[in-house]
Amino acid sequence: MKAISPIPFFDLRRQYRHLKNEIDEALQGVLQHGAFVRGPEVDLFADELCAYLQGEKVVPCGNGTDALQIALMTLDLKPGDEVIVPSFTYPATAEVVALLGLSPRFVDSDENTFCLSAERVAPYITKRTKAIIPVHLYGQPAPMEEILQLAEAYNLYVVEDNAQAMGATYTFSNGETQKTGTIGDIGCTSFFPSKNLGAYGDGGALTFGKNEELAQKAKKIANHGQKEKYLHECIGCNSRLDSLQAAVLRVKLRYLDKFNARRREIAALYDRALSSLEGAIQIPFRPSYSSHVFYQYTLRVYAGKRDALKAYLSEKGISTGIYYPRSVLQQSAYKVWRDQCVDVPISERLPKEILSLPMFPELEDQEVERVTTAIIDFFK
């Protein structure tokens, strides 16, 4: 009998096979000219990403965590200033706030989007609050229009954590659209290999929709505070996207919309097959204001059945993921804020209910069908 092949959670090798000629040529270009740091690919990629986002400026850096750190340094926040972050996110969002001696204020997620909402943030704004960091979790944009209105009313900066939502579009109530990452004062993204736009190692960028001055400052901070070589004007850090990663990203950027469209197609297949299980599970919510780019396709599994479903799928050779098994406040490193804190019931419930299904552009329809059939069988 022919063994059934396993279905990976994601598989970057399939994408490499598909793009091999272009990627190999791009990497060869860097190997030939030898400018591994600050090679021409870095500026070219920054310009191309800026054009794609229809933004003002892109400042590449070493990774998504650095992007967040540089963003907060660029805004000149001082120790003790409060920054509002979601409790349910990858810890990097809050980590950089703590690292800079600022005070993270953790806010619970919206039940549907799993993102911050203005309603949830508003009660936590104090005289010391300086910024809000909404995270577009799993590729679903946070409700930016209401967050911007709140920020304007209280004179707060908005730093978008766009690590999981590159390519998502936000539609304002007047019909205007904007790419996430260009809506707030600064956008921060990660090019970690599994991301919608992923490198072959670490990479990140700050993106700017309106403020060229902030962009110039961020560029300086990312380069040891140097305005020009050996002229250090402020304390900065060393955070660079290298030329090989930029070369890979230039190729992949050309396919980003196609890949995101395929992610949405896969999500629609999942939605259609799994909607009959409503009540036992919850499929991802789609607010009308945005296009989801499905970095993850994440179910909520009710009645304490998540772990059993995960194990059942694993027996069938289907890999799944839990993003994240703990909220940030449930991590021991963040205990001090947990003790001070706040009620975050949704952030505490989600880690027990969420299950992310295989999701990458090269996943085949028949594999999606195998996943959904197995889930339906589990609930029979």
Ligand X SMILES: Cc1ncc(COP(=O)(O)O)c(C=O)c1O
Residue 240, judged by CB atoms within 10 A of its CB (0-12, 13-18, 19+), counts as middle
213: left (phi over 0), alpha (psi -120 to 50) or beta: alpha
Q: Which is nearer to ligand X, 82 or 202 (CB)?
A: 202
Distance, in Å, from the CA atom of 349 to the CA atom of 347, rounded to the nearest integer, reads 6
Q: Which is nearer to ligand X, 75 or 159 (CB)?
A: 159
Residue 358 CB, nearest distance to ligand X (Å)? 18
Residue 87 CB, nearest distance to ligand X (Å)? 13
Q: Which is nearer to ligand X, 263 or 370 (CB)?
A: 263
**Sequence-distant (≥ 6) Cβ neighbours of residue 370 within 8 angstroms:** 4, 7, 316, 318
Distance, in Å, from the CA atom of 80 to the CA atom of 295, rounded to the nearest integer, reads 34
The residue whose Cβ lies closest to ligand X is 64
Q: Which is nearer to ligand X, 164 or 327 (CB)?
A: 164
Distance, in Å, from the CA atom of 243 to the CA atom of 304, rounded to the nearest integer, reads 47
Q: Which is nearer to ligand X, 285 or 302 (CB)?
A: 285
265 is written with which tokens? 């197609």
Cis, peptide link before residue 302, omega less than 30° from 0: no
Q: Which is nearer to ligand X, 190 or 298 (CB)?
A: 190
* DSSP class per residue in 142-187: --HHHHHHHHHHHT-EEEEE-TT-TT-EEE-TTS-EEETTSSSSEE
DSSP 207: E
Q: Which is nearer to ligand X, 168 or 277 (CB)?
A: 168
Residue 192 CB, nearest distance to ligand X (Å)? 4
Residue 278 CB, nearest distance to ligand X (Å)? 28
Q: Which residues bind ligand X (CB under 6 A)?
A: 63-65, 89-90, 92-93, 135, 161, 163-164, 190, 192, 202, 204
Residue 38 CB, nearest distance to ligand X (Å)? 20
Residue 188 CB, nearest distance to ligand X (Å)? 7
Residue 286 CB, nearest distance to ligand X (Å)? 20
Residue 276, Cβ neighbours under 10 Å: how many? 11
Q: Which is nearer to ligand X, 164 or 243 (CB)?
A: 164
- C-beta of residue 371 within 8 angstroms of C-beta of residue 309: no
DSSP 280: T
Residue 157 CB, nearest distance to ligand X (Å)? 17
Alpha-carbon torsion (207, 132, 91, 353), positive or negative: negative
Query: If you search the block for the tokens 């003002």, which residue do you land on?
Result: 56
